Amino acid sequence: MRVSAEVGERPARGVRGAGGETIRAAVFDLDGTLANTLPPISKLLVKVASEQGCSVTARQAAAAIGRPPGQAFGRLLGRPEEDGRVQAAISRYRELFSYEVLCQGPQLLFPGVTAGLSALRAHGVELAVATSKTTRSAEALLDVMGIRDLVGPVIGQDVVRRGKPHPEMVLRAAGRLGVAPWESAYVGDTVGDMRMAVTARMEPVAVTYGIGTFGELAAVAGTRMCSSFKDVVSVIAAARPRPAAAGAPQQRRR
């Protein structure tokens, strides 16, 4: 199957999801979706900003999570991304990340994630991660949580020219999986995640236990709302019929 490389390219087959085409792949955000890293990352952002002479509240720090590091610290410090203090903050954040966040290991997983990813794989759904973290940082987090082997490609902001909410990241993930974007879902916890999914012609699936509020996420047209990871699995699996048993007659796809 040829995978679209251009935003907006889609066959005229109608809408997927609720009664539409099958979802063959699921691409996941990381922080706030698979990993409950928001509390330790917020604490770390506050600490690093303080070292740079800026007083930042936990709420301000939480609002910066999910952005690329330059944008996050530029916003927190009130300086351009290329500013020396912003770059120093990024370096310090990366230096402390292992000690402040990764050390918590599997405790960072949201309930049901390991079982849910395993269930989706059993349904034949291809899995990937697309995140604003660097690829190396994302791989390390997945590794310490014990779920790296459950997902395929990991696409970080360092391997694309344009990060979220531009769809380049998720389109690359779908391409690596060999699945068309319109047969894929993107699962995330922010409005930017949902807008990225819509622009990429993917099924937008939102979790309400992360950063975004229910109202903000639901305002993005077509978004599927999930209050738990178990709900995420149900939404995706419902659009992915189980493979027919050996010898069973195959229903012809129209």
The whole-number pLDDT of residue 21 equals: 62
Average pLDDT, the chain: 86
CA distance 34 to 26: 13
The secondary structure of 97-161 as a DSSP string is HHHHTGGGGGGGBPTTHHHHHHHHHHTT-EEEEE-SS-HHHHHHHHHHHT-GGG---EE-GGGSS
Instruction: Give the CA radius of gyration of the chain.
Output: 19
Number of CB atoms found within 10 A of residue 124's CB: 14
Q: Exposed (0-12), middle (13-18) or buried (19+): which is 13, by Cβ within 10 Å?
A: exposed
HSE, side-chain direction, 13 A CA sphere, residue 225: 11
Confidence check: pLDDT of 247 > 50: no
Residues labelled as active-site residues: 29, 31
Using one digit for the tens of pLDDT, what is the confidence trace for 45-87?
999 999 999 999 988 998 888 777 888 999 999 999 999 999 9
Phi, psi angles (nearest 5°) of residue 146:
85, 20
pTM: 0.80
